[in-house]
């Protein structure tokens, strides 16, 4: 009896420790999403170092809960609140499938009372899986095999009950669409070519980090369909998943298989600046209150082009039916939904970054992984300690006593040993605070944590006035103690920056897709937000720029005027925006 009781208590303890948990009264989240991401399972992708990776996500609301599937996670997550995610371990591959990709860029959809899942394949040898109890990992085959080889698939159930499949991932071929039988999932008729990219007109579709079509033509992938007010919004990712400008565009039609016309506001999900960049290949969904959100792929692409994370953005349709996604301050603390919301209004909590490029001290340094990389607002760079030993630390100086409201700890993968999804791994640490750098108090104690938290985000119950914070390692799941971003949020003790002066937009005569933006540096500002769009009241895209007073914006439709405004940012707040400027 005693042994049985002890075993039961052990099982319950492990179950309780199996997933990240939010702080009591958690009201905000911070991108990248803090999921227990698996490591790439593909050996060739890990030659420069084993690392966490996922992309191509889908969130679907099913029976009142959210289900999140993404590439190569050997399972999926579910949540009641879009913050606390519980992982369900599951392989959807069978012995005859001689591939590494387990649910690569999956299609996830609901038919009646059933949740269905289908992974990317170029062959006709994958089943469609179905479940009425996915929390309990109960799955069976709806059809085996599905008779359409579809990479980056998306199933869409129309309001008239007809089912459609959209797919494609290529820099040569278009997106395709086809009607599918709801009775037996057989294809109906012939597939239809829908549309290709047009980078000669739309600058954001050009391939490369600098949108210069270096060595390859741009890729179009990641189809996703929504219907809103009788219109069909077919979304797609471009121009390449490894670039900061990876974004989602949309074309609109009156019919599910077209013809489609590009929405004037494109891309509609775009985040080329800031700490974590990229907002491509995702899906647009509604929460339990009917609010729209866009989930997408964020870029790291250091150890491999396909080293990626996930981001979640408020989204919606404006009064003119324009699909948008709000990525301004998209990797800062953002309010979670508590009811119906107007996503044209910012969900940003107003807590500023307090330690950008501020002084740091560390216990040790491995090679060229310098300490300042932990506070440079670049997820691609990171500091690594020489070991993973208990006691290795990173200390950041805010420069003055500030009010701290939240901290995000972004771990990097240095000398990681894992391939694929690992169970039972965890991070442990303590976070201290001090006003003088000598006398320390524990601010956050996760020395007993048993969860895997690669992008841990801690919202404090109340503001804490302090100047110094020190992150001390207790335990790493694998590899060295390495941090790509120790990000401290709150409000400083000084004044907001003044408005930007001398803002000019020089749109070239030679290539109307591109413009050179310049402005005078603002004293005390550490960053600037550039807002741009197709009308003065539709400035839906935002670019955060750090440490410089110019930006080359190459993402425009050559045939449209664009509008711009800019604001300056420091640890104390945000300036007023400049008057909106037209660039013809």
Output phi, psi for 370, to 5 deg.
-70, 155
Shared fold status for 28-335 and 501-583 = no
- Percentage of the chain beyond pLDDT 70 is 96
| pLDDT tier for residue 508 given thresholds of 50, 70 and 90 | confident
Q: pLDDT by residue (tens digit) across 301-320?
A: 999 999 999 999 999 999 99
Residue 16 has pLDDT above 50, yes or no: no
**Contact of 340 with 291, CB cutoff 8 Å:** yes
Residues 6+ apart with CB under 8 A from 160: none
- State residue 101's pLDDT score: 84
Encode pLDDT of 529-579 as tens digits.
Answer: 999 999 999 999 999 999 999 999 999 999 999 999 999 999 999 999 999
Tokens of 400: 């003055």
Q: How far apart are CA 364 and CA 357, in angstroms?
A: 19
| Distance set, CA 365 to CA 49, 382, 388 (Å) | 18, 11, 11
Question: Which structure tokens are listed for 28?
Answer: 């905000």
Among candidates 410, 396, 407, which has minimal Cα distance to 358?
A: 396
> Domain 28-335 adopts which CATH fold?
Tachylectin-2; Chain A (2.115.10)
Q: Which of 24-28, 241-245, 537-541 has the lowest mean pLDDT?
A: 24-28
What's the mean per-residue pLDDT of the chain?
Answer: 94
User: How far is the C-alpha of 126 from the C-alpha of 145, rounded, in Å?
Assistant: 5
The alpha-carbon radius of gyration of the chain (Å, integer) is 24
Q: Could you tell me which CATH class the domain 352-491 is placed in?
A: mainly beta
Give one DSSP letter per residue of 372-434, joined into a string. GGGGSS-TT--EE-S---TT-EEEEEEEEEEEEEEEEEEE--SSB---S--SS---EEEEEEE
Per residue in 347-393, pLDDT (tens digit) is 999 999 999 999 999 999 999 999 999 999 999 999 999 999 999 99
- pLDDT-derived band at 99 (thresholds 50, 70, 90) equals confident
**Per-residue CA distances from 281 to 312, 332, 579 (Å):** 12, 21, 33
Whether 427 contacts 476, CB under 8 Å:
yes
Q: Which two tokens stand for residue 317?
A: 């349709």
Residue 23 pLDDT grade (very low, low, confident, very high; cuts 50, 70, 90): low
Domain ranges of the chain: 28-335, 352-491, 501-583
Task: Provide the whole-model pTM.
Answer: 0.94
Please tell me whether residue 44 adopts helix, strand or coil conformation. Answer: helix
Q: DSSP for 550-583, please give it.
A: EEEE---BTTS-EEEEEEEEETTEEPPPPPPEEE
Alpha carbon 117 to chain centroid, angstroms: 21
Mean pLDDT is lowest, of 17-31, 35-49, 438-452, 548-562, for: 17-31
Q: Please, which residues have CB within 8 angstroms of residue 59's CB and are 6 or more apart in sequence?
A: 66, 67, 68, 82, 283, 285, 293, 295, 312
Neighbouring CB atoms inside 10 A of 6's CB total 10
CA pair distance 116, 142, nearest whole angstrom: 8
Q: What angle do CA 448, 452, 458 make, to 5 degrees?
A: 70
- The β-bridge partners of 93 are none
Q: How far apart are CA 30 and CA 407, in angstroms?
A: 10
For residue 305, give both structure tokens. Answer: 């082009």
- Strand, helix or coil for residue 86: strand
> Which residues 6+ apart lie within 8 Å of 449 measured at CB?
17, 426, 427, 428, 429
**Res. 117: pLDDT tops 90:** yes
- Top mean pLDDT of 17-21, 25-29, 474-478 is at 474-478
Strands 65-69 and 75-79: antiparallel
Using CA atoms, how far apart are residues 549 and 527, in angstroms rounded to an integer?
9
Parallel, antiparallel, or unpaired for β 573-574 and 562-570?
Answer: antiparallel
- State yes or no: pLDDT of 3 exceeds 60: no
- Structure confidence by residue, pLDDT tens digits, 417-432: 999 999 999 999 999 9
CATH number, domain 501-583: 2.60.40.10
Tell me the pLDDT tens digit for each residue of 126-173.
999 999 999 999 999 999 999 998 999 999 999 999 999 999 999 999
Chain-centroid distance, C-alpha 150: 24
Preceding peptide of 145 cis, ω within 30°: yes
pLDDT, position 94: 87
């Amino acid at each position: 009896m005693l042994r049985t009781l002890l075993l039961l208590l052990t099982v319950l303890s492990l179950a309780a420790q199996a997933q990240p948990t939010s702080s009591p009264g958690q009201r905000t989240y911070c991108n990248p999403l803090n999921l227990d991401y698996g490591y790439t399972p593909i050996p060739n992708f890990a030659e420069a170092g084993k690392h966490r990776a996922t992309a191509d996500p889908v969130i679907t609301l099913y029976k009142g809960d959210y289900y999140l599937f993404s590439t190569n996670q050997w399972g999926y997550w579910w949540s009641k609140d879009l913050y606390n995610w519980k992982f369900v371990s599951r392989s959807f591959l069978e012995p005859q499938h001689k591939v590494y990709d387990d649910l690569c860029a999956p299609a996830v959809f609901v038919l009646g009372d059933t949740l269905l899942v289908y992974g990317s394949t170029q062959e006709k040898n994958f089943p469609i899986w179905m479940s009425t109890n996915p929390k309990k990992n109960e799955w069976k085959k709806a059809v085996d095999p599905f008779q359409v080889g579809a990479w980056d698939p998306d199933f869409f159930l129309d309001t008239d009950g007809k089912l459609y499949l959209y797919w494609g991932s290529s820099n040569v071929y278009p997106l395709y669409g086809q009607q599918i039988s709801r009775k037996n999932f057989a294809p109906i008729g012939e597939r239809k070519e829908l549309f290709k990219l047009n980078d000669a007109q739309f600058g954001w579709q050009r391939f490369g980090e600098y949108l210069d079509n270096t060595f390859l033509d741009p890729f179009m992938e990641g189809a996703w369909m929504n219907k809103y007010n009788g219109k069909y919004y077919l979304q797609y990712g471009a121009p390449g998943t490894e670039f900061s400008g990876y974004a989602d565009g949309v074309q609109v039609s009156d019919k599910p298989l077209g013809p489609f016309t590009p929405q004037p506001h494109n891309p509609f999900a775009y985040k080329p600046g800031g700490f974590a960049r990229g907002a491509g290949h995702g899906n647009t969904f509604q929460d339990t209150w009917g609010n729209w959100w866009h989930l997408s792929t964020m870029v790291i692409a250091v150890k491999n082009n396909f080293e990626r994370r996930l981001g979640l953005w408020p989204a919606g349709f404006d009064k003119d039916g324009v699909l948008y996604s709000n990525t301004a301050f998209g990797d800062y603390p953002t309010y979670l939904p508590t009811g119906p919301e107007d996503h044209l209004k910012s969900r940003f909590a107003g807590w500023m970054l307090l330690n950008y490029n501020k002084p740091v001290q560390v216990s040790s340094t491995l090679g060229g992984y310098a300490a300042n990389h932990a506070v440079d607002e670049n997820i691609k760079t990171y500091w690594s300690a020489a070991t993973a030993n208990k006691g290795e630390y990173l200390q950041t100086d805010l420069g003055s006593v500030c009010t701290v409201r939240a901290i995000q700890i972004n771990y990097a993968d240095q000398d990681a040993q894992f391939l694929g999804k690992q169970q039972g791994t965890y991070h442990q640490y303590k976070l201290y605070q001090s006003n003088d750098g000598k006398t320390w108090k524990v601010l956050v104690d996760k020395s007993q944590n048993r969860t895997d938290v690669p992008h841990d985000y801690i919202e404090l119950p109340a503001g804490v006035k302090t100047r110094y914070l020190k992150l001390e390692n207790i335990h790493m799941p694998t590899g060295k103690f390495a941090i790509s971003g120790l990000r401290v949020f709150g409000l400083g003790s000084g004044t907001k920056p003044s408005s930007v002066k001398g803002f000019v937009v020089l749109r070239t005569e030679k290539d109307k897709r591109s413009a050179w933006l310049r402005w005078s540096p603002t004293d005390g500002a550490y960053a600037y937000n550039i807002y741009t769009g197709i009308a003065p009241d539709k400035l839906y895209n935002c670019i955060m720029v750090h440490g410089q007073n110019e930006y080359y914006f190459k993402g425009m439709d050559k045939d449209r005027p664009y509008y711009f405004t800019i604001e300056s940012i420091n640890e104390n707040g945000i300036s007023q925006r400049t008057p909106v400027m037209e660039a013809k």
